[in-house]
Amino acid sequence: MGSVEEQPADTASGSIAHRVPDLGALELLLAVARLGSLGAAARELGITQPAASSRIRSMERQLGVALVDRSPRGSRLTDTGALVTDWAGRVVEAARAFDAGAQALRVRRDSRLRVAASMTIAEYLLPGWLLALRAGRPDTAVSLLAGNSAAVAERLLSGEADLGFVEGLTVPPGLDSAVIAHDHLIVVVAPAHPWARRRRPLPAAELASTPLILREKGSGTRQVLDTALGGLARPLIELSSTTAVKAAAVSGAGPAVLSELAVGEELGLRRLVKVPVEGVALARDLRAVWPTGHRPAGPARELLSLTRG
């Protein structure tokens, strides 16, 4: 290669990325120095010889100095090229250390997944998703923290969970979200309850004024029901899990409002009876949530993808 006229570089302004060759160019220069041939260096790096020549010329223009002299006997570094190659070796070694450190961080991140989910999702949807995740990531240790929607938000914001799932009408402050599914709440009673023999749908006002078996405040189910009915009577019983509410309804303790996801088996076996309701829509979105500005990565991102599948 011919000589390159030195041009003064503006070192006082602009990003260093515009003044320093990229790692690919530096690796090419090191290969030329080691192998003594631009063609051999190109083959080692998996690029064509014209592409390698173009990259060397571009680097010379960027630095304003000649780096390589070519002849029929091969490629030889100029004195300036030898000096730049020495610097390039240090930069590439530092980049390799950086890459190794980043890989270690990824391995540590990917070795575990902490999920927080509200009760209905934790009990009836997450087991299938986590089994699918395990098939692709058998070495990832997964922990599941189940609680109401408010508790899920607290765990995400405190750093105790990597990904969360909630059932309420709104997204808790400080979280971003994506809708992953839709759900309906239904009124259910034991077969012996008077509502099981109703000929007409239950008016929304009667449902609102009737003491019900309810989830605790802060749960997505309670929030949806309270908002849809404009208020609720004092609870007949207040319980902290969907399973407990369902068991109380099956026992005949009173009416309950539960996700359709949770009562399919009980309805099929006639252990519970669905009571039609008029004048109110008890629908809700199921959402994946994560701290604002921190999009899920690694196994959390894969689990999010599985929920949409």
The confidence score (pLDDT) of residue 265 equals 94
Q: Please check the confidence at residue 295 and state whether its pLDDT lies above 80.
A: yes
Would you put residue 46 in left (φ > 0), alpha (ψ -120 to 50) or beta? left
108-151 tens-digit pLDDT: 656 789 999 998 899 899 999 999 999 988 888 899 999 888 89
Position 229 scores a pLDDT of: 93
- pLDDT number for residue 9: 47
CATH code of domain 112-308: 3.40.190.290
Flag whether pLDDT at 7 surpasses 50. Answer: no
Phi-psi region of 9 (alpha: psi -120 to 50; beta: other; left: phi over 0): beta
May I ask the CATH architecture of the domain 17-108? Orthogonal Bundle (1.10)
pLDDT at position 290: 97
The string of pLDDT tens digits covering residues 74-114 is 778 899 999 999 999 999 998 888 887 777 667 665 678 99
Model's pTM, two decimal places?
Answer: 0.64
**Cβ 11 vs Cβ 18: under 8 Å:** no
User: What pLDDT was estimated at residue 85?
Assistant: 92
Looking at the chain, which residues constitute the CATH 3.40.190.290 domain(s)? 112-308
pLDDT at 296 over 50: yes
- The lowest-confidence range among 64-73, 153-162, 172-181 is 64-73
> What letter would DSSP give residue 255?
-
Residue 269 CA: distances (Å) to CA of 102, 191, 276: 54, 11, 18
pLDDT in tens, 272-281: 999 999 999 8
Q: Residue 239: is its pLDDT beyond 90?
A: yes
Is 187 exposed, middle or buried (CB count within 10 Å of its CB: 0-12, 13-18, 19+)? buried
Give the list of residues 6+ apart from residue 281 with CB closer than 8 angstroms, or none. 228
175-189/202-203 β-pairing: unpaired
Q: Which has more pLDDT, 19 or 26?
A: 26
Q: Letter for the amino acid at 42? A: A
pLDDT given for residue 8 in this prediction: 46
How high is the pLDDT of residue 218? Answer: 81
- Residue 157 pLDDT > 60: yes
Which segments of the chain belong to CATH 1.10.10.10?
A: 17-108
Q: Tell me the average pLDDT across 220-243.
A: 91
Amino acid in position 306? L
Least confident stretch, 11-20, 38-47, 248-257: 11-20
Q: Is the pLDDT of residue 183 over 50?
A: yes
Average pLDDT of 202-218? 94
